[in-house]
Amino acid sequence: MRRSPQHQRGRLPAEDIALFRDAVRDARPIKKPNRTAAEGKAAPPPVPVQSLLDAHDALKESVSGPIDWEQMMDTGEELVFLRPGLSREILRRLRRGHWVVQDHLDLHGMNSEQARQLLAQFLSACSRRALRCIRIVHGKGLRSPRREPVLKNKVRVWLARRDDVLAFCQAPANQGGGGALLVLLKG
């Protein structure tokens, strides 16, 4: 249907206007909502509230809670951890590579706060993925002030506080040695 030039400019004949008004004579205007409409703006993206709460809980869990220092066993240079009630055979198997390392996290160059947050996020992701054995590379502290292993000790404390960590031990030399830990998670 081709429109006349009169229709193209927005002017309607009087009979069309009368016909329209007759068709809508019983209609009532819609009330405007009592809010400001953001014209032309897209709605904000949804906030994944439960995911944020889970991440917050995991982070809180990783840095709080008492540590039973009897759970930590100092064997000279190597510090190992075994959850109470578990067989020492688990540590032996972990050291000997019984479980394949399924993922790893490298914390080199991070400060304590960055490392703590990233470790908590990584462990939560590993739990969601049902990973059993992971490696955490914390470094030996050779470039830190006074050449002290700051992250090494903190990572061990953070791991021991988590319920999903069953055991950990120093990684073998070919996987980081004294600068890394093998960690066994609940399956």
Among the residue ranges 51-55, 107-111, 163-167, the one predicted with the least confidence is 51-55
- Where residue 125 falls among pLDDT bands split at 50, 70, 90? very high
Q: Residue 143 pLDDT more than 70?
A: no
Q: What is the mean pLDDT of residues 47-67?
A: 66
- Separation of first and last alpha carbons in the chain: 70
Higher-confidence residue: 133 or 39? Answer: 133
Architecture of domain 67-185: 2-Layer Sandwich (3.30)
Q: What is the DSSP letter of 45?
A: P
pLDDT attached to residue 108: 84
- Where residue 55 falls among pLDDT bands split at 50, 70, 90? confident
Reported pTM: 0.59
SS3 assignment, position 181: strand
pLDDT attached to residue 124: 93
The angle subtended at Cα 160 by Cα 60 and Cα 55, nearest 5°, is 25
C-alpha–C-alpha distance, residues 132 and 166, integer Å: 10
Strand order in the sheet with 103-106: 72-75, 78-82, 165-170, 180-185, 133-137, 103-106
Residues 31/35/39/41 CA torsion (nearest 10 deg): -140
Q: What is the mean pLDDT of residues 68-97?
A: 74
Q: What separation in angstroms does the CA of 96 have from each of 42, 91, 120, 170, 175?
A: 56, 9, 26, 11, 12
- Judge whether 103 and 119 are in contact, CB under 8 Å: no
